[in-house]
Structure 1
Amino acid sequence: MPEKQTRFHMANEERPCLCNIGDRFDYRGLGQEVQVEHIRAYICKPSSSTDKAVIVIQDIFGWQLPNTRYIADMLAANGYIAICPDYFVGQEPWKPSDDWSIFNDWLKTRDASRVDREADAVLKYLKQQCGAKKVGVIGFCWGGMAVHHLMLKNPELKTGVSVHGVIKYFEDRYSLLHPTFFIFGESDEYIPIEQVTIMEQKLKQHCKVDYNVKIYPGHTHGFVHRKREDMNPKDKPFIEEARKDIINWLNKYI
């Protein structure tokens, strides 16, 4: 892990979440959309049968974002049933053209700690319709917060990966039920490195299951799934390392 920096990053008040929609605009996905009780979902299955599955939780740009579906397909290529449900339950995702001055009010109507009903519906679907017996979860940004919540609450999930999940909404909530992997970028302007340091201290004090907090040097918010690994040679090794780390973590606990 790189030496931690002491400087403090603050998100621009005019743009409270420094999020880019990503580079993979033209990716169409290898899976299909299905209905799961009251929500829609994108699902991609591996070429051979398996009882292992991963729930992919969207960022603010929603369940149809090509970048997120690309990650679901990557998980399927590594042997997992991957499903990305609409955790906004029909509400509009954030759009790059939206007015950032209303972002905080928009976020209040999409609470990442109120995803239990959707998680239960997807778990039921995976077990009954897909034959899944071991299920993990991965989430990005908003979805990373949802993963944190589910790792505190849901006994049926085996493990979680929170990728640049915002920390400030989960202060003092670190008694995790399941092994959890937290991924951050060193230069994330929305998640100050000082918050990550405090988080590690809290986990050390309160968490009784396996966890890992990894900071990838020089990288900003969203680098794991919003950047294409073939666009910038300097980014490529870190993007590939993070994705390999994710697969290794899931392989270990699912």
Structure 2
Amino acid sequence: MANEANPCPSDIGDKIEYGGMGQEVQIEHIKTYVTRSSMDTGKAVIVVQDIFGWQMPNTRYMADVIAGNGHTTIVPEFFVGEEPWDPAWDKSTFPEQVDAVLRYLKRQCHAQKIGIVGFCWGGIAVHHVMTTYPEVKAGVSVYGIIKESEDVYNLKNPTLFIFAENDAVIPLESQSHGFVHRKREDCSPADKPFIEEVRRNLIEWLDKYI
């Protein structure tokens, strides 16, 4: 299972070759990857990267999949100007980064309803956002650790937590940490149904609550 000493208990996995459908956009002091939905639904989703950074093609692919289902997506560089995740990362800047992203989605993308999805470290970020920002209407935390705190259950809106068998919390049979976005769908016939099921659940959750 992931923990603070070992926040991502797997290697980088299958790094896919993927160019992306979106574009990089500078938002105030934050670099982002934005994919506009072809449908004007007024819905947007923040996609938070794992420890391998905002330029990881697997994360951008997942953002584009979500955008293809009617949600403008944005992948912010929450590790601003730094290497991928470090325990010394300054968490105090995170709220102002989230605020900047929300302003952009509302003012520039005309988002009326906003959700958030995060992988690994990003799943931790989702949990924090969902206990802090009532304007974010739905969250999906994918194999992010649940940190013990007084407000750990004080979720403002519906939040889906997805884990794998090796995470030992909410098992999904035979799958390991990182399987939703760091395994290729064609890696083995046995893996494909699990990957497709969880990706479908993720989209259905967003569709239902935002």
TM category, shorter: over 0.9
Aligned to 1:72: 63
What is aligned with 2:175?
Answer: 219
Deviation at residue 218 of structure 1 after TM alignment: 1.4
Q: Which residue of 1 aligns with 2:88?
A: 108
Structure 1 residue 233 corresponds to structure 2 residue 189: yes
Match of 1:33 among 24, 30, 33: 24
Counterpart contact for 2:8–2:51, Cα < 8 Å: no
| Structure 1 stretches lacking a partner, 5+ long | 1-8, 95-105, 197-213
2:197 partner letter: E
What is the letter of the counterpart of residue 148 of structure 2? F
Q: Which runs of 5+ in 2 are unaligned?
A: none
Matches of 1:171 and 1:233, distance apart in 2: 40
The separation in 2 between residues aligned to 1:233 and 1:80, in whole angstroms, is 29
What do you get for the CA RMSD once the two structures are aligned? Answer: 1.9
Name the % identity.
56
1:65 alignment partner AA = M
* Equivalenced residues, count: 208
Name the SS for the 2:175 alignment partner.
coil
Deviation at 1:171, TM superposition (A): 4.2
**Inter-partner Cα distance in structure 1 for 2:153 and 2:72:** 28
Residue identity opposite 2:177 in structure 1: H
Counterpart Cα distance in 1 of 2:204 and 2:51: 26
Q: Tell me, yes or no, if structure 1 residue 251 matches structure 2 residue 177.
A: no
Please name the residue that 1:101 is paired with: none
- The answer to whether the aligner puts 1:149 opposite 2:138 as a matched pair is no
Q: TM-score, normalised by structure 1?
A: 0.77
Partner in structure 1 of residue 107 of structure 2: 128
Instruction: State how 1:159-170 maps to structure 2 within 5 Å.
Output: 159-167=138-146, 169-170=147-148
Which structure shows the higher helix fraction? 1
Q: Work out the CA distance in 1 between the residues paired with 2:52 and 2:156.
A: 28
Q: Distance between the aligned counterparts of 1:38 and 1:129, measured in 2?
A: 16
Q: Secondary structure at the match of 1:61?
A: coil
TM-score by length of 2: 0.92
